Copies of this chain bind each other. A is one copy, B any other.
Amino acid sequence: MGVFSKTCEYAIRSVFFIAHRTTSGSRVGIKEIANGIDSPEHFLAKILQDLSRRGIVQSVKGPNGGFYIDEIGLKRPLSDVVEAVDGKSIFTGCGLGLAYCSETNPCPLHHEFKAIRNQLKNLLEQTTIADFSESLNLGITKLRK
């Protein structure tokens, strides 16, 4: 089990892939995305439909259709994608699964865990989708294998 659910991992990778492959006006099909990020095609379709409904990505049907991300979307922090799929408990929940993570009733891991959790939160909130696709453009990062 990773930090993010499998669904969320696919969501993040696909968003990076779409941001990287599409320039203004162009779109990329589900097959190409699934292949590009090494994910099950139909499962990814579900995920992207959901992200589309939530406005994280945009889609156009028909020939030359496909998915793309608009200007506003590119400037969104990655945390928006994570929250849309896995919810925000990863940013606020107790590491030991207590019902509430609180200062007044902390678990033994609380202080140290909270610090780590906040680092993750900051990373995802302070970096935009566009920022991440930069490193893909430069060819220094990968989305499969």
- Nearest residue (CB) in B for A123 is B112
What residues on B are CB-neighbors of A97 within 8 Å?
2, 4, 6, 9-10, 13
Contact of A4 (CB < 8 Å), options: B95, B108, B140 = B95
Give the size range of A's interface with the partner.
35 or more
Q: Is the CB of B12 within 8 A of A1?
A: no
Show the binding face of A for B, using Cβ within 8 Å.
Answer: 1-6, 9-10, 12-13, 16, 86, 89-90, 93-100, 105-110, 112-113, 115-116, 119-120, 123, 127, 132-133, 135-136, 140-145
Give the 8 A-B CB pairs with smallest separation, nearest first. A9-B97, A108-B132, A108-B141, A112-B123, A105-B142, A116-B119, A9-B96, A108-B135
